[in-house]
Amino acid sequence: MVFVTKYRRGVFTKEILDDMRTVFAGVCADFEAERVEFDG
């Protein structure tokens, strides 16, 4: 799964990235998938 924004500008703050990391980890666990990379 690849998640991108429509426009490349400073959308993701550190706080949002921290929340997204937690959410994505939960989704991967639900689907028994491995998160290979996460970067903001």
Question: Would you say the pTM of this structure is higher than 0.75?
Answer: no
| pLDDT at residue 11, as a whole number | 80
Confidence at residue 2, expressed as pLDDT on a 0 to 100 scale = 77
Query: What's the structural domain count of the chain?
Result: 1
* Nearest Cα to Cα of residue 3 among 32, 31, 27: 27
Q: How many CB atoms sit inside 10 A of residue 20's CB?
A: 14
Q: What range defines the domain where residue 15 resides?
A: 10-34
Digitized pLDDT (tens) for each residue of the chain, 40 residues in all: 777 777 777 788 899 899 999 999 999 999 999 988 888 7
Give the pLDDT of residue 22: 94
Residue 14 lies in a domain: yes
Output the pLDDT for position 26. Answer: 94
